[in-house]
A and B are shown apart, each in its own frame.
Chain A
Amino acid sequence: MGKIWKTILLGLLLAILWTPLLQRVSGIFNEARLKGAYIVPERPEFSVDSFLGGSFQKKYEAYENYSFGFRPFLIKLKNSLDFILYRDIDNTDLMAGKNDVLYSRGSADRTMWGKYYNGREINNNTLAKIKFLKEKVESGGGHLIALMVPSKESVMPEYLPSSYDHAKHENSDYEDFIAGYEREGISYIDLCSYFRKLYPQSKYPLFTKTGFHWSTYGASVAQDTILKYCQSLLTLPIPYYERKGVEFSDTARFADADFEDLMNLYFSIQQSKYVYPKLEIVKSSLSNHRPKVIIIGDSFFWQIKDLRKLVNIFSDDSKYWYYFRKSFPLSDEAGSDMKFLDVVQELESADFVILESSMGTLGEFPFGVTEYFQEHFENDKQMRSINGKREQFNLKAANGKFVCADISKNNIVIADREKAAGWETFSILLLPDNKCAIYTYENKYFSAELGGQGEITASRYKIAGWETFTMIKLDSNHVALRAANGKYLAMDEKSLRLFARADAIGKNEKFEFMQKGSK
């Protein structure tokens, strides 16, 4: 009798073990998608070569790891347990501070410890380029405004984890930029100091416990300030709105729980209600002058855009260039690729050019727009569209694979692609002294990071020493590249990544240069 019961129990266990596979095949249950942005590995194509080489198996396991049945349930269960037991969050950048207030580790390290400091020379160089843009915008009758957005930890540091209790720093990009704006006469709005002052007396939270960005309420405060400042620079009145109180909600809207969403928990850590301002455009003001604005900024600006008031206040051809990677109208319409735009003309014709950066993204600020503008301003007008008229090429390494700037893996440069598409296409930017910079599809430059043992990454928005290379033509099809450290770029046979650490040109230092022709 006992044996029968044990067999039934074992059968039950096996049946449960089968369920992920059955769900995977049949998809009987409708599973909710996990929140957050992530790249699901593609299902690899089987070939005898890829199987014998082992690459198929590796890719297939990665693919299945993202595809098996009931995965969202298991991930959420794991995340919930980890958070309950250890306050552990399975995200490299996310951390829970006191009272479970969520912070970005990278941003907090930058703000509190002064980590990732650009250095004064680079900041001054950036400021000089912003000044150049400002002069050109002003010569066309427009205004350039730099907007400094606070990070959560700069406004509410008291909830940071105790490892930040004694944090201090000598220099910071924020201080460099504010001093630089003053020195160079660049108009700016310092929302950091404004929010810090406002924080103790604000009726509603400027940052939510569960979000990375400012709260929707905080964004509305920022919007008020920006619009007042813009109006102060104009003689004609612009449309305006009125505040009609606030609305409370148990559930988060927009990006108010963007960090909590990434945690994919079965419960919410937010204890109080979310606050949403009610803003109403004054209809009679709609006939007023609607200036054109171009905003180049990071994700903080999304919440201002989400308030859906700018669309009535600024002209229809106004744009928001998200990280200078993609252009969005101020309406809810979809964005478009930057390459379809005449960037110089757009900037020259704007009434306002707003360069927005939060404290956490000052390392990338202003996201390549000033370099692009400076480079293209005096050039042929036809050379303006991004990635447009440059010499485009692919590089094939000694293993016969295309070199790829893989943004999904921390912008590593790796020779492992069978085909050449966007990430495998590069442009050359010629520099003085026979030097060049290599520009990727994602508008970043190749860099030979000496801190990373000369590993080549496609991570930089700016050209400094490490981003310059000398291209040596070996024959009609092959080139070698020498980095600023005097070493040649070589493909590492094990990892297939590129490193600048070869003293001589051998097999792995030779790359097939495959010109795509000008577009």
Chain B
Amino acid sequence: MLFSSTLFLLYFLPVFLTIYFIIPAKAKNPFTLFVSIVFFAWGAPKFVFVLAAAVMVDFFIAQFIDKSEGKRRVTFLTIGVVFNVSVLLYFKYFNFFMDNANSLFEIMGMHAVSFTRVALPIGISFFVFHELSYIIDVYRRVKPPMKNIVNYGLYIFLFPQLIAGPIIRFSEIADQINDRKFQDTVDNRILGLFRFAIGLAKKVLIANVLGAEADTIFKLPYEELSSTSAWIGALCYTFQIYFDFSGYSDMAIGIARTMGFIFPENFNHPYISQNITEFWRRWHMSLSRWMRDYLYISLGGNKVSVPRMYLNLCLVFLLSGFWHGAQWTFIFWGAYHGLFLVLDRLFLIKLTERIGKIPRIILTFFITVIGWVFFRSETISQAFQFLRKMGSFSFEELFLTPHLKTVLIAAGSLSFLVPFFNSGKTMAAESVLAVSVGRSAMKIAVILVIMIICVGEISGSSFNPFIYFKF
């Protein structure tokens, strides 16, 4: 179930929130776990059993890790890591590996191996990263394991973050799962719903509009693609992916907040980054932090030789790309970003020091846009063809609808201009201040207006009547 579906907005959300607000504190976690399982089962009913089984296995592995020392402890950690990675490899990458192996067999003149394709369960990448975070944090003694399986199940199943993150490290949320009565306030409920509405607006009013245009352009045959349309397509996708993903994160953070959970931020105006290193500190921050804490540091972090550090960086970003999807385009995109991170450390940041802030932002944005072309394309060759068109500079007149023009300008302004007026002020910061009644009323009015417009937009976008009159 998507947050931006009428079923969620008009049925699931009001029913869930009403019950959640009125039930006693003790019942909140079991109730939320139950609702989260229903939420997940609605989208992937078969996989809910696999997920539940994995949760059980990890729960006990973490207990064993906690009670063990020395080699035994490492053994249990290894079992846990191998188990979770295997789940991910099987469900997400099995088809990819088999397809590529078969292509290789065909090239070598051998027969392809027939296999049954594995269905990709939604949210598998986030689920596995949460499981890994749990057992590694327990292993590192950052946090003790959960004693209560309901609370542990809630960490994994908590529906706001289950499908698309943010990736919350166990250590960040363990205490909140056990006790969050000080955060379960009316202010947080209003601020949470406000944040949810902002995310909904980003997704429905901006990302969906740009996404429709990007889809049309990326589907165009090479001959019909002009330089202008290729640039428009790339820009539309660049803003679409940001507003879509950050909108979804806002919605997740917002719903969690209505429940008293304070999730870490996932985006911080990434398109004003002055280099790719900074971009990764602002883009999908929860993934970057996860990769840093559990992978990069495990590989030795910065405490290794310089060539080894560069190799580790490339490896982390290759895996980060692969994590996004079982396609060569994602791997290429990861490698592309890894390369720029290495170049940043080698000379790029120093080299661009003198050109000024705005040119640096433009340059970084340009590198990012090119990267998104690989991310969006079906194949690497399609991406290169697309880039060739972008680079041909054979501009033609293009008719953009007033709606698309407005949304593109809005997306650009929100990405580049708003951060300068809003520096350092985050939603989290607002929580420490008591929200006045007047501001609360204003926020509630905004929530209502956004909800009304967005639900109309969601339902209306699939409403395309025909004349067919009298027939």
Chain A residues positioned under 8 Å from B468 (CB to CB): 37
A5 to B190, CA, bound (A): 12
B10 within 8 A of A: yes
Q: Could you list 12 examples of A-B contacts with CB < 8 Å?
A: A6-B440, A21-B10, A21-B15, A34-B465, A64-B11, A68-B6, A75-B460, A79-B460, A81-B453, A86-B406, A90-B464, A162-B399
Q: How many residues of B contact A (CB 8 A)?
A: 57
Given the known interface contacts A6-B437, A9-B190, A78-B460, the answer about A38 and B14 at a Cβ–Cβ threshold of 8 Å is no
**B45→A52 contact, CB < 8 A:** yes
State in angstroms the CA–CA spacing of A322 and B465 once bound together.
19
Query: Is A32's CB within 8 Å of the partner chain B?
Result: no
Which of B403, B447, B466, B470 has the most A CB atoms < 10 Å from its CB? B470
How far in angstroms is the closest Cβ of chain A from B399? Answer: 5
1/0 contact string of A24-58 vs chain B (CB within 8 Å): 00000000001111100000000000011010010
Cα separation A316 to B470 with both chains bound (whole Å): 20
Per-position binary interface string of chain B over residues 100-128, scored 1 when its CB falls under 8 Å from any chain A CB and 0 otherwise: 00000000000000000100000000000
Collect the chain A residues with CB atoms within 8 Å of residue B46's CB.
52
A2 within 8 A of B: yes
* Contact, CB under 8 Å: A86 / B45: no
- Set B18, B437, B461: member contacting A18, Cβ < 8 A: B18
The listed residue (A18, A51, A87) touching B45 by CB distance below 8 A is: A51
Q: Once bound together, how far apart are the Cα atoms of A259 and B469, in whole Å?
A: 11
Give per-residue flags for B1-33: 1 if the beta carbon is below 8 A from chain A beta carbons, else 0: 100011100110111011001000000000000
Kindly list 19 other residue pairs between chains A and B, CB separation below 8 angstroms, not including A9-B441, A57-B43: A6-B440, A9-B190, A10-B193, A12-B444, A13-B447, A17-B14, A18-B18, A20-B10, A21-B15, A52-B45, A57-B42, A61-B6, A64-B7, A68-B459, A71-B459, A77-B456, A91-B464, A262-B466, A264-B465
Contacts of A91 in B (CB 8 A): 464-465
Distance to closest chain A CB from B67 (angstroms): 38
A87–B6 CA distance with the chains assembled, in angstroms: 25
Residues of B within 8 Å of A495, CB to CB, are: none
Instruction: Give the dominant DSSP class at B's interface.
Output: helix
Contact (Cβ within 8 A) A14 B17: yes
* Contact residues in A for B436 (Cβ distance below 8 Å): 2
B448 CB within 8 Å of chain A: yes
CB of B182 to closest CB in A, whole Å: 14
Q: Are A18 and B464 in contact (CB under 8 A)?
A: no
Distance in angstroms from B223 CB to nearest chain A CB is: 13
Residues of chain B contacted by A401 (CB below 8 angstroms): none
A17 and B452 within 8 A (CB): no
Q: With A38-B465, A262-B465 as given contacts, are A74 and B399 in contact (CB-CB < 8 Å)?
A: no
Contact of B14 among A7, A21, A92, A264 (CB under 8 A): A21
Bound complex: CA of A14 vs CA of B21, how far in Å?
11
If A7-B186, A65-B6, A74-B456 touch, whether A38 touches B45 (CB-CB below 8 Å) is no
A61 to B11, CA, bound (A): 11
Residue of B nearest to A1 (CB): B437
Q: Is A342 an interface residue (CB 8 A)?
A: no
Asked if B434 CB lies within 8 Å of chain A CBs, one says: yes
Residues of B within 8 A of A302 (CB): 469-470
Chain A residues 313-333 with CB under 8 Å of chain B are: 322-323, 325-326
> Are A86 and B402 in contact, with the CB atoms below 8 A?
yes
Which of A234-257 touch B at CB < 8 Å?
A: 255
A379 within 8 Å of B (CB atoms): no
- Answer yes or no: B427 CB below 8 A from chain A CBs: no
Question: Residue B452 contacts which of A21, A74, A262, A264 (CB distance < 8 angstroms)?
Answer: A74
Question: In whole angstroms, what is the CA distance A164 to B46 when docked?
Answer: 52
Which residues of chain B from 361 to 403 have a CB within 8 Å of any chain A CB? 399, 401-403
| A-B interface pairs (CB < 8 A), number | 157
Any chain A CB within 8 A of the CB of B451? yes
Task: Tell me if B467 is interfacial: C-beta within 8 Å of chain A.
Answer: yes
B193 touches A13 (CB 8 A): yes
The answer for the CA separation of A322 and B471 in the assembled complex, in Å, is 8
B457 an interface residue at 8 Å Cβ cutoff?
Answer: yes
Q: Does A258 contact B (CB under 8 A)?
A: yes
A282 within 8 Å of B by Cβ?
A: no
Query: Chain B CB within 10 Å — which of A12, A74, A81 has the most?
Result: A74
Interchain nearest-CB distance for B95 vs A (Å): 12
Chain A CB within 8 A of B44 CB: yes
Count of residues in A whose CB is under 8 Å from the partner chain: 62
A77-B456, A86-B401 given; A6·B45 CB < 8 A:
no
A227 to chain B, nearest CB (A): 22
Interface of A is mostly: helix
B432 CB to nearest chain A CB (Å): 16
- A74-B190 contact given A9-B441, A14-B14, A14-B18, CB 8 Å threshold: no
Chain B contacts of A14 at CB under 8 A? 14, 17-18, 21
Give the complex CA separation of A37 and B378 in angstroms. Answer: 36
- B467-A6 in contact (CB<8A): no
Interchain CA distance A90-B209 in the complex, whole Å: 12
Which of A2, A21, A75 is B456 in contact with, Cβ under 8 Å?
A75
Residues of B within 8 A of A88 (CB): 401-403
Known: A16-B448, A52-B45, A86-B406. A37 touches B467 (CB 8 A): yes
Q: Which of B316-339 contact A (CB under 8 A)?
A: none
Give the chain B neighbours of A92 by CB distance below 8 A.
464
Q: Is B189 an interface residue (CB 8 A)?
A: yes
B414 within 8 A of A: no
- Report Cα–Cα, A69/B441, bound state, in Å: 25
Q: Is A299 an interface residue (CB 8 A)?
A: yes
A152, B457: Cα distance in complex, Å: 30
Contact A90 B461 (CB under 8 A): yes
Tell me if B187 is interfacial: C-beta within 8 Å of chain A. yes
The answer to whether A90 touches B460, judged by C-beta atoms less than 8 angstroms apart, is: yes
- A17 and B10 in contact (CB under 8 A), knowing A6-B186, A74-B455, A90-B461? yes
A71 nearest in chain B by CB position: B459
Residues of B within 8 A of A21 (CB): 10-11, 14-15
Return B198 CB to nearest CB of chain A, in Å.
15
* Contacting residue for A87 out of B402, B441, B460, CB 8 A: B402
Contact with B along A482-509 (1 / 0, CB 8 A): 0000000000010000000000000000
A374-413: which residues lie under 8 A (CB-CB) from chain B? none
Does A168 sit at the interface, judged by CB under 8 A?
A: no
A519 at interface (Cβ–Cβ under 8 A)? no
Q: Could you tell me if B467 and A36 are in contact, using CB atoms closer than 8 angstroms?
A: yes
A212 at the interface (CB under 8 A from B): yes
Q: Across the interface, which residues of A come within 8 angstroms of B465, CB to CB?
A: 34-38, 91, 262, 264
B193, B401, B459, B464: the one within 8 Å of A65 (CB): B459
Contacts of B464 in A (CB 8 A): 38, 90-92
Given contacts A21-B15, A74-B456, contact A64 B6 (CB under 8 A): yes
Q: Say yes or no: is B435 at the interface (Cβ < 8 Å to chain A).
A: yes
